[in-house]
């Protein structure tokens, strides 16, 4: 907790919103976290980022949170302080009633997708010298880029879903060649998805040739790199990581053909089965693979690793790693840990401990022969 404060509560800064297509999902995650935390144990500071990436004014912040939660937070329009290496202020910093409040002990960046989960925000926090929950710059950036993540996981000997990476430019100049290559590789069905996005935004199942062009072009609306993946007839299984521990394995039973955005956040028919109905040996294998994948990307704090269990062969494929999974009431990450015996309050407390531990370890390293990070003074 802050050195000058006599308040025994942990000062937790919650960062949410942002420029990504998952802005609304981030708002839901933040609301869930704020609602679930004990006000007697946490003093919550809120910083909302607008869809344009600007720190929200107090009136905007009010619209980003449910009204019943407003009394639980102290709004901020500042990241860092004058003592930080970097101070980030909005044009409304002076309007915030708590602009002079003590800094949070640690930040919880509950942003999903680009400009929040992809290493950009983590880099900002690193520059500001602020502790935060979750993976660092490298792991966040690599995991967000599904193309690069697959390459590193494959190099580590892990089973990744077969895929082809193409650019939007290639689709514009030679779509037929791309389609022909994908058809020769594995035929239909296949999937197209943006390389750098989450929550299944821009993801399409391609069941036949006449669906190919529209699907890949829509995926290309969200990123310059597109993944075209082999369609796996498999069960969708997920495992949560907390530090060096892996949760029980859960299964997503989607209301649609696959677990797309609508199935995740709109439909009431999708369901989660925790633990998944799989044999103990398969569960152990998935948990071990999840930890290996997390380590291969140099992860820290938390992640959710998604798998396919092929129905006919029983082959296990790693689909992707999510370094800032959703914290909404229906999110798999928190449910997996609850089923493993870690209730929400304990989960957040452990994430804070891990974040502060990582911050302490990093700041204890030297950045020059004479100075360590914590004592660095650019002047």
pLDDT given at position 319:
95
First to last CA, the chain: 28
Interval 28-61: pLDDT, tens = 999 999 998 999 999 999 999 999 988 998 899 9
Residues 257 and 226 in one domain: no
Residues 170 and 246 in one domain: no
If you average pLDDT over every residue of the chain, what do you get? Answer: 87
Helix (H) or strand (E) holding 120: helix 120-128
Closest among 22, 1, 23, 5 to 13, alpha carbons compared: 1
Long-range CB contacts for residues 294-297, cutoff 8 Å, separation at least 24: 294/241, 294/321, 296/152, 296/153, 296/156, 296/158, 297/135, 297/138, 297/139, 297/142, 297/143, 297/149, 297/152, 297/153, 297/321
pLDDT given at position 248:
98
Distance CA 173, CA 220 (A): 13
Residues 118 and 175 in one domain: no
Distance CA 60, CA 55 (A): 9
Distances in Å between the Cα of 312 and the Cα atoms of 280, 315, 316 are: 18, 8, 11
The enclosing domain of 212 has a CATH number of 3.30.1490.20
313-317, 362-366, 375-379: the lowest-pLDDT one: 375-379
Asked if the peptide bond before residue 242 counts as cis, ω within 30 degrees of 0, the response is no
Task: Name the residue with higher pLDDT: 242 or 127.
Answer: 242
pLDDT given at position 21:
79
pLDDT given at position 187:
94
Helix (H) or strand (E) holding 355: helix 344-363
Residues 50 and 129 in one domain: yes
The neighbour count for residue 185, using CB atoms within 10 Å, is 13
β-partners of residue 239 are: 249, 305
28-32, 266-270, 311-315: the lowest-pLDDT one: 266-270
Residues 190 and 76 in one domain: no
Count structural domains, the chain: 3
3-state DSSP assignment of residue 182: helix
Token couple for 372: 């360590």
Residues 20 and 110 in one domain: yes
Distance CA 169, CA 220 (A): 9
The enclosing domain of 307 has a CATH number of 3.30.470.20
Note whether residue 149 is domain-resident.
no
Average pLDDT of 67-84?
Answer: 78
pLDDT given at position 373:
54
Average pLDDT of 157-176?
Answer: 96
β-partners of residue 14 are: 46, 108
Enter the DSSP assignment of 151: H
The neighbour count for residue 209, using CB atoms within 10 Å, is 11
Residue carrying structure tokens 């999903």 = 112
- Residue 182 CB burial class (10 angstroms; 0-12, 13-18, ≥19): buried
pLDDT given at position 149:
97
Note whether residue 181 is domain-resident.
yes
Note whether residue 39 is domain-resident.
yes
- Do residues 18 and 118 make contact, with C-beta atoms less than 8 angstroms apart? no
Token couple for 24: 């609304």
The domain boundary residue, chosen from 208, 230, 252: 230
Note whether residue 140 is domain-resident.
no
Note whether residue 378 is domain-resident.
no
Average pLDDT of 185-208?
Answer: 89
pLDDT given at position 254:
74
Q: What pTM value is reported for the model?
A: 0.86
Residues 259 and 309 in one domain: yes
Q: How confident is the model at residue 89 (pLDDT cuts 50, 70, 90)?
A: very low
Phi, psi of 279 (to 5 degrees): -75, 155
pLDDT given at position 85:
43
Closest among 139, 145, 105 to 122, alpha carbons compared: 139
Q: How confident is the model at residue 279 (pLDDT cuts 50, 70, 90)?
A: very high
Q: How confident is the model at residue 91 (pLDDT cuts 50, 70, 90)?
A: very low
Q: How far is CA 57 from the centre of its chain?
A: 25
The domain boundary residue, chosen from 230, 250, 270: 230
Tell which phi-psi region holds residue 53, choosing left (phi > 0), alpha (psi between -120 and 50) or beta. Answer: left
Residues 59 and 74 in one domain: yes
Enter the DSSP assignment of 241: E
- Pairing outcome for strands 42-49 and 234-242: unpaired
Residues 70 and 175 in one domain: no
Please check the confidence at residue 230 and state whether its pLDDT lies above 90. Answer: yes
Task: Name the residue with higher pLDDT: 370 or 130.
Answer: 130
The enclosing domain of 22 has a CATH number of 3.40.50.20
Average pLDDT of 286-290?
Answer: 98
Average pLDDT of 155-168?
Answer: 96
Note whether residue 290 is domain-resident.
yes
Residues 101 and 125 in one domain: yes
Please check the confidence at residue 375 and state whether its pLDDT lies above 50. Answer: no
Please check the confidence at residue 72 and state whether its pLDDT lies above 90. Answer: yes
Q: How far is CA 44 from the centre of its chain?
A: 21
Note whether residue 286 is domain-resident.
yes
pLDDT given at position 86:
44
Residues 65 and 167 in one domain: no
Please check the confidence at residue 82 and state whether its pLDDT lies above 60. Answer: no
For residue 255, what are the domain limits? 234-342
Interval 322-365: pLDDT, tens = 999 988 777 899 999 999 999 998 999 999 999 999 999 887 66
Interval 99-156: pLDDT, tens = 455 689 999 999 988 888 999 999 999 988 899 999 999 999 999 999 999 999 999 9
Task: Name the residue with higher pLDDT: 258 or 136.
Answer: 136
Residues 253 and 196 in one domain: no
The domain boundary residue, chosen from 173, 199, 230: 230
Note whether residue 29 is domain-resident.
yes
């Amino acid at each position: 907790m802050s050195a000058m404060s006599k308040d025994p509560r942990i000062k937790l800064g919650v960062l949410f919103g942002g420029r990504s297509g998952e802005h609304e999902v981030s708002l839901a995650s933040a609301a869930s976290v704020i609602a679930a935390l004990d006000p007697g144990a946490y003093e919550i500071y809120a910083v909302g980022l607008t869809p344009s990436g600007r720190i929200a004014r107090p009136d905007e912040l009010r619209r980003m949170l449910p009204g019943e939660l407003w009394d639980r937070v102290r709004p901020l329009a500042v990241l860092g302080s004058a003592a930080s290496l970097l101070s980030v202020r909005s044009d409304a910093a002076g309007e915030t009633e708590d602009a002079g409040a003590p800094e949070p002990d640690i930040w919880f960046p509950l942003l999903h997708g680009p400009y929040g989960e992809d290493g950009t925000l983590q880099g900002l926090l690193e520059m500001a010298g602020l502790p935060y929950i979750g993976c660092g710059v490298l792991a966040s950036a690599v995991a967000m880029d599904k193309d690069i993540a697959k390459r590193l996981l494959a190099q580590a000997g892990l089973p990744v879903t077969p895929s082809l990476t193409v650019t939007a430019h290639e689709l514009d100049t030679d779509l037929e060649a791309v389609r022909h290559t994908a058809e020769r590789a594995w035929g239909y069905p296949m999937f197209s998805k943006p390389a750098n996005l989450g929550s299944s935004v821009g993801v399409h199942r391609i069941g036949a040739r006449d669906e190919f062009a529209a699907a890949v072009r829509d995926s290309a609306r969200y990123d310059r790199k597109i993944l075209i993946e082999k369609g796996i007839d498999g069960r969708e299984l997920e495992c949560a990581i907390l530090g060096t521990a892996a949760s029980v394995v859960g299964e997503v039973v989607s209301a649609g053909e696959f677990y797309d955005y609508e199935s995740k956040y709109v439909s009431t028919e999708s369901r989660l089965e925790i633990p998944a109905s799989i044999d103990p040996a398969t569960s152990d294998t998935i948990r071990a693979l999840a930890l290996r994948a997390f380590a291969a990307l140099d992860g820290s704090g938390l992640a959710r690793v998604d798998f396919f269990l092929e129905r006919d062969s029983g082959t296990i494929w790693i689909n992707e790693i999510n370094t800032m999974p959703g914290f909404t009431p229906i999110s798999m990450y928190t449910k997996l840990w609850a089923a493993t015996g870690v209730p929400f309050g304990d989960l957040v407390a452990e994430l804070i401990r891990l974040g502060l531990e990582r911050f302490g370890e990093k700041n204890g390293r030297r950045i020059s022969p004479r100075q360590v990070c914590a004592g660095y003074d650019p002047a």
